[in-house]
Structure 1
Amino acid sequence: MAAPLYRQIAHKIREEIESGNWREGEAIPTEKHLSEQFSASRVTIRQAIKCLVEEDLLKRVQGSGTYVNEKKIEHNIFELQSFTEEMRRLNKEPINHVLNFQMIEPSEKVREVLQLSEGEKVFYIRRQRLVDDTPYVLEDTYLPVNMFPDLSYQIMSGSKYDYIEQIRGMKIKESFQEVIPILPDQEVATSLRLDATTPILKIQLHSVFYDGTVFEYSDIYFKSDEYKFTLRASRP
Structure 2
Amino acid sequence: MNSSPLYKQIAKRLKKEILEGNLASGDAIPSENKLAETYNVSRVTIRQAIDLLVSQELLEKVQGSGTYVKERKIEHDIFRLQGFTEEMATLKKITENKIIKYEMKIPSDSIQKILQIDEEEPTFFVSRLRYVDGVPLVLENTYLPVKLFPDLSYEIMQGSKYKFIEENKNWKIKQSFQEIIPIIPDEAVTNLLNLKEAIPILKVKLWSTLQTGEVFEYSELFFKSDEYKFKIVANR
TM class, shorter-chain normalised?
0.7 to 0.9
| Aligned pairs for 1:114-153 within 5 A | 114-153=115-154
**Residue identity opposite 1:186 in structure 2:** E
1:25 aligns with 2:19: yes
Given the superposition, is the C-alpha separation of residues 55 and 160 from structure 1 closer, same or farther in structure 2, using an over 3 Å criterion?
farther
Given the superposition, is the C-alpha separation of residues 56 and 122 from structure 1 closer, same or farther in structure 2, using an over 3 Å criterion?
farther
User: What displacement does 1:215 show?
Assistant: 0.6
| Map of 1:102 onto structure 2 | 103
Summarize deviations over 1:41-60 as a string: whole Å, max 9, x none. Answer: xxxxxxxx9x98x99942xx
The whole-number CA distance in structure 2 between the counterparts of 1:92 and 1:215 is 27
Given the superposition, is the C-alpha separation of residues 87 and 196 from structure 1 closer, same or farther in structure 2, using an over 3 Å criterion?
same
Uncovered stretches (5+) of structure 2, i.e. residues with no partner? 1-9, 24-28, 45-58
Identity %: 46
TM-score (norm 1): 0.75
User: What displacement does 1:168 show?
Assistant: 0.6
User: What displacement does 1:190 show?
Assistant: 0.8
Secondary structure, aligned partner of 2:170: coil
| Map of 1:3 onto structure 2 | none
| Map of 2:189 onto structure 1 | 188
Preserved CA contact (<8 Å) 1:185 1:196: no
| Aligned pairs for 1:43-82 within 5 A | 57-58=68-69, 69-82=70-83
Given the superposition, is the C-alpha separation of residues 96 and 56 from structure 1 closer, same or farther in structure 2, using an over 3 Å criterion?
farther
Given the superposition, is the C-alpha separation of residues 115 and 37 from structure 1 closer, same or farther in structure 2, using an over 3 Å criterion?
farther
Secondary structure, aligned partner of 2:19: coil
Given the superposition, is the C-alpha separation of residues 35 and 114 from structure 1 closer, same or farther in structure 2, using an over 3 Å criterion?
farther
The whole-number CA distance in structure 2 between the counterparts of 1:86 and 1:116 is 30
Given the superposition, is the C-alpha separation of residues 187 and 56 from structure 1 closer, same or farther in structure 2, using an over 3 Å criterion?
farther
User: RMSD in angstroms over aligned alpha carbons?
Assistant: 2.9
The whole-number CA distance in structure 1 between the counterparts of 2:214 and 2:68 is 44
| Map of 2:234 onto structure 1 | 233
Preserved CA contact (<8 Å) 1:129 1:135: yes
Summarize deviations over 1:181-220 as a string: whole Å, max 9, x none. Answer: 0011111111100144211001101000111111100001
**Residue identity opposite 1:82 in structure 2:** G
The whole-number CA distance in structure 1 between the counterparts of 2:66 and 2:105 is 45
| Map of 1:167 onto structure 2 | 168
Preserved CA contact (<8 Å) 1:184 1:196: no
